[in-house]
Amino acid sequence: MDRPPLTPENFLHPTIEVARWLLGKVLITPIGALSIVETEAYCVDDPACHAFRGKSKANAAMFGPPGTAYVHINYGIHHCLNVVCQPEDVPEAVLIRAVEPCHSQPGAWNGPGKLTKSLGIDKATHNGMTLYDSTGEFWLARGSEISPEAVTQTTRIGITKGAELPWRFYITTSRFVSRR
């Protein structure tokens, strides 16, 4: 099935809106197409955002153009895949927390660490890659539009600062989300 790639302009809306909008979009990978079922938003004025204290070597990809991958290492163990939103030098991103196979591929990736481990995504190789180039190893494509009634909006998980912000979104009926 031919899936058109997303464009940089898709990531220039408010980051919280992009986090909700990405549900149902598709991550194209070497093992097949995976539908995004859970996301979290991180905005520059958010204390949980990696760019909250400014630019560093570790978070430089967050300051890149919209549609760039920001891969970070969580707890020194797990790689996490984020999509940069907003114009260059406005460091905001959406964490892709969980995906589900679009067809009959084996496996479920419910949690950002499981997702990147299963797909072989790491900071050294994939941080800063373009996620709208359909010739790349990984890219984001059009998918389903998910109705507001089919989405649960709740607080983010796995963080201590800004944990009360309701910036986590998931498809309510998906069995692949990391936590209800």
The predicted-structure confidence for 109-153, as pLDDT tens digits, reads as follows 778 888 898 888 989 899 999 999 999 999 999 999 999 999 999
CATH second-level architecture of 8-171? Roll (3.10)
* 82-101 per-position pLDDT tens digit: 999 999 999 999 999 999 98
* Torsion angle of the four alpha carbons 66, 152, 99, 11, in this order, in degrees rounded to the nearest 10: -10
Give CA separation, 127 vs 26, 44, 70, 107, 121, in Å: 19, 19, 5, 24, 9
